[in-house]
Amino acid sequence: MNIQEIKSVYFIGAGGIGMSAIARYFLSQGKVVAGYDRTPSELTNRLVQEGAIIHYEEDVNLIPQACKVKDETLVIYTPAIPSNHQELVWFRENGFEIQKRAQVLGTITRAAKALCVAGTHGKTTTSTMLAHLMNGTPEGCNAFLGGIAKNYGTNYILSENSPWVVIEADEYDRSFHHLTPYITAITSSDPDHLDIYGTKEAYLESFSHYTSLICPGGALVIHEGLEMVPRLKDEVRCYTYGRHTGDFHAQNIRIGGGEISFDLISPIKNIPDITLGVPVSINIENGIAAMAIAQLAGADNEEIKQRMASFRGVDRRFDFHLKTPQKAVISDYAHHPAEIRQSALSIRELYAERRITAVFQPHLYTRTRDFYHDFADSLSLFDDVILTDIYPAREQPIPGVTSQLIADNLKSGISCTRCRKEDVCSIIQQRSDIEVLVLLGAGDLENYAEEITRLMRIDK
């Protein structure tokens, strides 16, 4: 089916961060956009305000008539949707064109020059940063992002007639194998999603295959020291990057007074005195990757410098809800042991002399089962840990797999409290020793951030 010829698009799992970006694309094209999601959310509410028709019951009768015309409707679903979902089964039995989100994204972006960011962690911030850099060029850019960019209040950026599209390349379910990158960065390759891949080796191989998809004449920008081995076409250039070493790296790093600045050392042209708009340590490396791609795509160095300083970050990525001389509340989407470690180290760098408390909601039973030792090691970098029950997302419980596995393996001396997520606020209300609090995880703990922030403002 030619995407340009369809009249209606129906999303099964419309409220996902990646799905909603594509929904916004089709809304901008004047298509009828409708769909199902399990529960209302800020994202689904925004989509409805922008013209989408969304319902929250699994019911074929609620599908709009415009989306029941087989030859005019494209159905898009996320891999998190079970195969026996009533609406998905109905569309399948009636012969509709049905595609995964990644397939559609690949089709949409194949006509453009795709600037992609892949990696176990760091890809959302880096791709959003890159979109902000490229949006400052005369040509602008389109962007499909995995988080809400604070500069724009959306996860989708539209620049008509721009040759560039920025994409967060997701490795879950091998989704990024549908993409055709022109330039891509790989930020990390720490094993994850072993419920899909089975083994570390299969996970690393998926990244190797991804690099083989880079267009001739394109480029790979890869973090130094990764285990995965690139598999590049002869016409593809390869660059390394890192904090202190690599073709692209930082020099003369200055951290202090709530600011981070450094000089970018680049094989294209050095850029002195870069200032990070979101001054956390991990954004040095994220920024280097984003600037490397922007330079390779021809962005102006002075514009890069100015846009790095004006970048405001991504919702739930090292997101400050409260920042006073006495207290801080930070929200971070970190849900993999390596991400939590980076978050802990960055917070320690900002608050070296303060007591730091982490509230962690593990995400997925399989991830907890596979990495509970690693989670415990990373969380042991905090002074105090509050562990909630596991957020199941798409999974059913696994016998014996609870957050207690993590609690039992924390290093000695780390204070730990286990509780239901509904009890987090009352626990924080009773505590007078919390100075810096970080909410960690990819589940729904964020729903309590506003109340937690209110409680932290109260002098106890």
pLDDT at 351: 86
Amino acid 254: pLDDT: 94
Q: Give tens-digit pLDDT for 243-268.
A: 999 999 999 999 876 789 999 999 99
Distance CA 23, CA 86 (A): 21
User: Which is more confident, 205 or 29?
Assistant: 205
The reply to whether the predicted model has a pTM over 0.85 is no
State the pLDDT at residue 460.
60
pLDDT of residue 404: 96
The model's confidence at residue 384, banded by pLDDT at 50, 70 and 90, is: very high
What the chain holds in terms of domains, given with CATH numbers, is 3-101 (3.40.50.720), 110-310 (3.40.1190.10), 319-457 (3.90.190.20)
- Residue-wise pLDDT tens digits, 86-138: 999 999 999 999 999 889 988 887 888 999 999 988 999 999 999 999 999 99
Quick: pLDDT tens for 139-175. 999 999 988 999 999 999 989 889 999 999 989 888 8
User: Per-residue pLDDT for 400 more than 90?
Assistant: yes
Give the lowest-confidence range in 131-135, 190-194, 399-403.
190-194
